[in-house]
């Protein structure tokens, strides 16, 4: 799958932002004054900034408001609703923290629930895809929650929780790489089942339908840049581990958060670049 920068930035930063807002929403920590302004600002900036980045990916972003309508069937629609609900519910609590108004925390707790729902619905957009076997697996939501909550815990100042989650996340990444590599084969689709020609014999591509590129090849059969996949995996896991260790070092938490996000970006790039769509079978490529 094509690793579009807008989607990578969107999923990493909004995931981090919603992870942080989940902690701030329940008041753990509950900052006051300008510290609250900075903390909530970071959460809102990342969450909303990521959402805005995602609209850059659309063909007709002026119609994006329509995406709130199909919550009954579409995970993308549910994600949009959960994201906006989080941003709205947390607003009075953020204002109260900043100006020390002492308003009740209940909307913040509901906002935290919505933040978790946003992370979950984001991950389900990918997990639901039977056409992309690597994504159609429990490790996808686990990874999305892992990255969001680890980053959120580190940014919220929970050093031990952040380090523990980071350590677990590194392990989870290894499991996801290991299982993900066999997912396409386990899904069992081949050029033979894609064309139905397996009932005659062994099918191979004789001639492609077109000599130029097309949307399918650019978007779903994107094979560019897989060359350094193994190196990038090591870098991604190493960076996430380093962030987890650094989180425990006093005053190094901003660096730890930065490192964690760098690891998340690398991992998310791989999440797209190494995912293979079954339509590639028709073209004899994955």
Partner 1 sequence: MTMLPASTGKKLGLVVDLDTCVGCHACVTACKGWNDQGYGAPLSDQNPYGADPSGVFLNRVHSYQVQPDEGPSQIINFPRSCLHCEDAPCVTVCPTGASYKRAEDGIVLVNEDACIGCGLCAWACPYGAREMDAQAGVMKKCTLCVDRIYNENLPEIDREPACVRTCPTGARHFGDFADPDSTVSRLTAERGGYALMPDLRTKPVNRYLPPRKKDVRSEASLLAPLLDIKATGFAGWLDKVLGKI
Query: Closest distance between partner 1 and the C-beta of residue 65, in Å?
Result: 9
Which H or E run contains 213?
none
Query: Closest distance between partner 1 and the C-beta of residue 262, in Å?
Result: 27
Q: Which of 29, 70 has the CB closer to partner 1?
A: 70
Query: Closest distance between partner 1 and the C-beta of residue 10, in Å?
Result: 12
Query: Closest distance between partner 1 and the C-beta of residue 286, in Å?
Result: 13
Query: Closest distance between partner 1 and the C-beta of residue 73, in Å?
Result: 4
Q: Under a CB-based contact definition with an 8 Å cutoff, are residues 111 and 90 in contact?
A: yes
Distance (Å, rounded) from C-alpha 125 to C-alpha 123? 5
Cα dihedral across residues 16, 19, 25, 28: positive or negative: negative
Q: Which of 10, 13 has the CB closer to partner 1?
A: 10
Q: Which of 269, 272 has the CB closer to partner 1?
A: 272
Return residues touching partner 1 (CB under 8 A).
Answer: 1, 57-61, 63-64, 66-70, 72-77, 80, 125, 128-132, 188-189, 191, 193-197, 199-210, 212-216, 219-220, 277-279, 282-283
Measure the CA angle with vertex 238, ends 233 and 242; round to 5°.
155
Q: Which of 7, 149 has the CB closer to partner 1?
A: 7
CA dihedral 201, 279, 137, 120 (to 10 degrees): -160
> Three-class SS of residue 55?
helix
Q: Under a CB-based contact definition with an 8 Å cutoff, are residues 195 and 203 in contact?
A: yes
Distance (Å, rounded) from C-alpha 188 to C-alpha 177? 19
Q: Which of 7, 173 has the CB closer to partner 1?
A: 7
């Amino acid at each position: 799958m094509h690793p579009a920068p807008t989607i990578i930035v969107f999923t990493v930063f909004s995931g981090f932002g919603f992870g942080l807002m989940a902690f701030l929403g329940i008041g753990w920590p509950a900052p006051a004054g300008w510290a609250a302004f900075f903390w909530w600002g970071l959460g809102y900036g990342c969450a909303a900034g990521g959402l805005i980045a995602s609209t850059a990916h659309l063909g007709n972003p002026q119609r994006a408001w329509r995406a709130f309508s199909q919550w009954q069937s579409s995970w993308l629609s549910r994600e949009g609703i959960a994201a906006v609900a989080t941003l709205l519910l947390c607003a009075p609590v953020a204002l109260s923290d900043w100006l020390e108004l002492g308003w009740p925390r209940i909307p913040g707790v509901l906002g935290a629930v919505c933040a978790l729902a946003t992370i979950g619905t984001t991950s389900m957009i990918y997990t639901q895809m039977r056409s992309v076997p690597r994504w159609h697996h429990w490790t996808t939501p686990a990874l999305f929650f892992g990255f969001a909550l680890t980053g959120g815990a580190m940014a919220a100042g929970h050093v031990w929780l952040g380090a523990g989650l980071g350590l677990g996340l590194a392990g989870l990444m290894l499991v996801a790489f290991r299982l993900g590599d066999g997912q396409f084969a386990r899904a069992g689709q081949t050029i033979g089942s894609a064309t139905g020609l397996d009932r005659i014999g062994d099918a191979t591509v004789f001639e492609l339908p077109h000599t130029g590129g097309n949307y399918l090849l650019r978007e779903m059969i994107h094979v560019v840049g897989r060359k350094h996949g193994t190196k990038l995996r090591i870098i991604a896991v190493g960076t996430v581990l380093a962030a987890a260790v650094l989180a425990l070092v006093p005053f190094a938490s901003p660096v730890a958060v930065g490192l964690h996000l760098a690891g998340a970006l690398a991992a998310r790039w791989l999440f797209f670049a190494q995912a293979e769509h079954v339509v590639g079978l028709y073209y004899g490529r994955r």
